[in-house]
A = this chain, B = another copy of it.
Amino acid sequence: MIIGGAEDKLRKRTILKDFVAASGGADARIAVIPTASSLGPEVVEVYDALFRRLGAADVVAVRPESREEAGDPELVARLESATGIFMTGGNQLKLSALVCGTPLADAILDAHERGVVVAGTSAGASIQSSHMVAFGGPGSTPKQRMTQVAAGLGLLDSTVIDQHFDQRNRYGRLLMIVAQSPQLLGIGVDEDTAAIVDHVDDHEILSVVGRGAVTVFDPSRIVTNAYEARRSSALLASGVVLHILPEARAST
């Protein structure tokens, strides 16, 4: 469950409700991973209160602040009984730098494998793809060097995920990445919007909930100069197929 940031926490809370329901509703045992956040305990308190209010049976925090802590067996064991994992927003590079490749990351991947719902918002969304937007500026037109890629958790293979997509004008940076790596599908998620990926048999099905849209760039037939564009020049990116996917609502 890939949430584009700023999900509604006060009114309808559609996305967070869906997450709790998918995690088992009254039986939901949720682990919150707030490592991306620079905030103190209040970030956990907010989600703890929210998930309990929405009916979850239990909420635990799993907050490593170093790679060593992300290898702590006691901490890792907290995921064993979880039916849902929620990664907060913040700095995804902190999340990848402290978690990826550690026993905690393995535990997240194992949990995902056995059907535990893994959700994340903002930084917690970006981390889910195999290739992760580390940081980079806004702008619609892709330009060479406008963003950097790091390795994500890889819950979703051959993808790169960006968030706050509409609100922070991130078309350009996601297009730059898929122009340089046309084997990746670019997925941009708007605020208060979630891309939900269900693994069905051998393939994945994407659906959308929330107020905005999920934008997908399919660069498989791209014509590009990304391998030779110099400095920060605008990139040629011709033939990218674009899908803008809002929540499917009943007609009229």
Residues of A within 8 A of B (CB): 138-142, 165-167, 169-172, 175, 188, 190, 193, 211-213, 215, 217, 225, 228-230, 233-249, 251-252
Pair B252/A228 contact, Cβ less than 8 Å: yes
Residues from chain B with Cβ under 8 Å of A251 in the complex: 225, 228
Q: Identify A242's interface contact among B166, B225, B242, CB under 8 A.
A: B242
> In the bound complex, how far is the Cα of B241 from the Cα of A175, in angstroms?
13
Least Cβ–Cβ distance between A209 and chain B, in angstroms: 12
Known: A139-B166, A169-B140. A243 touches B237 (CB 8 A): yes
Q: Return 13 A-B CB contacts under 8 Å, by A number.
A: A166-B172, A171-B171, A213-B235, A213-B236, A217-B242, A225-B251, A230-B252, A233-B246, A234-B246, A236-B245, A238-B242, A240-B244, A242-B242
Q: How far is the CA of A246 from the CA of B238 in the complex (A)?
A: 10
In the bound complex, do residue A242 and residue B246 qualify as a contact, i.e. CB atoms below 8 Å apart? no
Docked-complex contact B235 and A141, CB < 8 angstroms: no
